[in-house]
Amino acid sequence: MVGRGKWRRLVIVLAVMVLTLGVAVPAMSQVTPVVGNSVDVFLSVTPNTQYRDGSVAYTVAAFNAGFVEGASPAWIDVTFTPPGPDGTASGTPVVLATGLRIEVNQVITWNVTTNPELLVPLAHIEEGVGVALAKVDYYARYDATPAYYASGTKNIPVTVLEYAELGDFVWNDLDQDGIQEAGEPGIEGVTVNLWSVDELCAPVAIIDTMLTDANGYFLFDSLKAGDYKVQFVLPDGDWFFTMQYAGTDDTIDSNANPATGITDCVTLAAGASDLTIDAGMYQMQELCWADETAWAYGDDYAKPNWDYVNNRFWGWTNGPLSEGSYEWDLYAGAGANILSNGTVIGKVYVDYEDGCVTVTYEVDEGYAIGEAHLWVGNDVLPKVKRGRTSVYTNAPGQFPYGDSYGFDPVDSSTWESTWTWTQCGFKGDIYVAAHAVVWGQVECTDNMIE
Ligand SMILES: [Ca+2]
Ligand SMILES: [Ca+2]
Ligand SMILES: [Ca+2]
């Protein structure tokens, strides 16, 4: 992390070696640039007619003598402009280096030969990052007879920029609402491309690429200030981008365009750290119909069936109930009578009034009643003959009331969401055991009906 919040300074030192005999030197500009602007440093030498036919070879060296903490590079452009016939800088510039990164203590040297009627060696210092002191030396060798040499050094203060960085998260937007939430994990190994952009912020080229880490994070650091775009690449499998810019909090939304995976322009100031560039993805879940057993759970009235029968099948009978109205949850799959094993998929209503009992099943959207089996009576459960005696049973098929809808997953007219039963002639407290086979659309696994 670079954002130490302090500007550092880069000093470009120009050393100039110029012939003294026949070549008088040097006029030199010294500029403190605005950050991000370029600086041209002109060196000029007046040619001496006596050596007009000689040649001059320049050795241009640039090195970074950074002295602050950390070893950071400078970025510079170096252009050599040979002189025109009259000694003005009208010749064709020779680009020695563009966007060169010079590490601390690294020296880079170019040799340039030109006419002695020189000269404008030109240092175009575009920008440096985190560097305290850098230096560009010019060494001119006037290769005539006799040969002369000259040299010099100048300091040019240059304000430099700190690195910026950009990140940071690709997550599985399980509920597809476009918001990063607890329980929605990062996605590992997603390709993230960093694009340079033109003045209109149209993508130009991929300048860096990386994969998200084990927790779904990525970070492009050591960036120059400027504009960028980020491109997220969907992993293999049925992945989709979630919606862009959901909600009002940019720190937990998704920046990827759902169609292209590319973000809008991201503008980084020097030293900035923008970690709000995230992308949500989700996987299309194929839904299948599956059936499950369900029982009404009558809260304080619920009694496990296994209190009365000789097996351990889950389910409840509910009572004793005096006349009145009751509303209970309908649980699917609450194995071992543990509610947290199950899912509430609807309600069961019991209305007992003037000896008449009405029981209504209502299942939630996404579910359908396949079969209903109901016990209503003064006993806890119905009885069946076993030898010479009668015993309670919790087998729904033995319950006296019920219905079957012949559920068909491809025929929505068979998807019943309610079932109602009414009968009169009851007296005293009653028990109600309400069982159903319910169909629900769930994540597909093997052996399900799609
Ligand atoms: Ca979400
Ligand atoms: Ca965001
Ligand atoms: Ca983030």
Instruction: Give residue 92's pLDDT.
Output: 64
Ligand that lies nearest to the alpha carbon of residue 249, given by its number in the listed order:
2
- The CATH number of 8-160, from 2.60.120, 3.90.1570, 2.30.30, 3.40.50, is 2.60.120
Say which residue, 127 or 274, is predicted with more confidence.
274
Strand 430-443 with 316-321, pairing = antiparallel
- Among residues 148, 194, 140, which one has the least CA distance to residue 167? 194
Cα 239 to ligand 1 centre (Å): 15
Cα 273 to ligand 2 centre (Å): 13
Grade residue 406 by pLDDT with cuts at 50, 70 and 90. confident
Tens-place pLDDT, residues 327-357: 999 999 999 999 999 999 999 999 999 999 9
pTM of full prediction above 0.85: no
Partner residues linked to 136 by β-bridges:
14, 62
Say which residue, 130 or 368, is predicted with more confidence.
368
- CB of 162 within 8 A of CB of 10? no
Cα 353 to ligand 2 centre (Å): 59
Within 212-355, strands assigned E span 217-223, 226-232, 239-241, 266-268, 273-283, 287-297, 302-304, 316-321, 324-332, 343-353
Which whole number is the average pLDDT over 49-73? Answer: 44
SS3 358: strand
In order, the DSSP letters of 415-445 are: -B-EEEEEE----S-EEEEEEEEEEEEEE--
Say which residue, 66 or 246, is predicted with more confidence.
246
Residue 86 DSSP one-character state:
T
Question: Dihedrals φ, ψ of 252, to 5°?
Answer: -125, 20
Q: Tokens standing for 153?
A: 């050094």
Grade residue 290 by pLDDT with cuts at 50, 70 and 90. confident
Cα 319 to ligand 2 centre (Å): 55
Instruction: Give residue 93's pLDDT.
Output: 64
Radius of gyration in angstroms for the set of CA atoms belonging to the chain, rounded to a whole number: 41
- The CATH number of 164-278, from 2.60.40.10, 3.30.1600.10, 3.40.50.300, 3.30.70.260, is 2.60.40.10
Cα 259 to ligand 1 centre (Å): 19
Which whole number is the average pLDDT over 129-146? Answer: 42
Instruction: Give residue 225's pLDDT.
Output: 76
Cα 140 to ligand 1 centre (Å): 65
Instruction: Give percent of the chain above pLDDT 90.
Output: 52
For the chain, the structural domain boundaries read 8-160, 164-278, 288-443
Question: 297-336: buried (b, 16+ CB within 10 Å) or exposed (e) per residue?
Answer: bbeebbbbbbebbeeebbbbbbbebeeeebebbbbbbbee
Say which residue, 16 or 378, is predicted with more confidence.
378
Q: How far is CA 417 from CA 282, 334, 346, 360, 447, in A?
A: 30, 20, 9, 10, 24
- Among residues 73, 173, 192, which one has the least CA distance to residue 126? 73
Which whole number is the average pLDDT over 417-434? Answer: 97
Tens-place pLDDT, residues 156-170: 333 344 668 999 999
**Is pLDDT at 317 greater than 70 in this prediction?**
yes
Which of 29-43, 53-67, 120-134 tops mean pLDDT?
53-67
Which whole number is the average pLDDT over 167-192? Answer: 96
Cα 215 to ligand 3 centre (Å): 12
Question: Dihedrals φ, ψ of 76, to 5°?
Answer: -140, 155
Which whole number is the average pLDDT over 425-439? Answer: 97
Report the alpha-carbon distance of residue 47 to residue 22 in Å, rounded. 6
Tens-place pLDDT, residues 194-240: 999 999 999 999 999 999 999 999 999 878 778 999 999 999 988 99
Instruction: Give residue 18's pLDDT.
Output: 26
Instruction: Give residue 74's pLDDT.
Output: 47
- CB of 56 within 8 A of CB of 140? yes
Instruction: Give residue 350's pLDDT.
Output: 98
Cα 242 to ligand 3 centre (Å): 15
- Among residues 47, 16, 245, 29, which one has the least CA distance to residue 139? 16
Tens-place pLDDT, residues 241-256: 999 999 999 999 999 9
Instruction: Give percent of the chain above pLDDT 70.
Output: 62
Measure the CA dihedral 15/16/17/19, to 10°: -170
In this chain, the answer to whether the domains covering 8-160 and 164-278 adopt an identical fold is no
**Is pLDDT at 89 greater than 80 in this prediction?**
no
Q: Counting beta carbons within 10 angstroms of the beta carbon of residue 145, is it exposed (0 to 12), middle (13 to 18) or buried (19 or more)? A: exposed
Cα 279 to ligand 2 centre (Å): 8
Which whole number is the average pLDDT over 417-442? Answer: 95
Grade residue 14 by pLDDT with cuts at 50, 70 and 90. very low
Cβ-proximal residues to 421 (8 Å cutoff; 6+ apart), any chain: 358, 359, 360, 372, 374, 401, 403
Q: How far is CA 323 from CA 21, 162, 319, 355, 426, in A?
A: 122, 79, 11, 8, 10
Report the alpha-carbon distance of residue 293 to residue 440 in Å, rounded. 11
Least confident window among 9-23, 61-75, 391-405 = 9-23
Cα 276 to ligand 2 centre (Å): 4
**Is pLDDT at 447 greater than 80 in this prediction?**
no
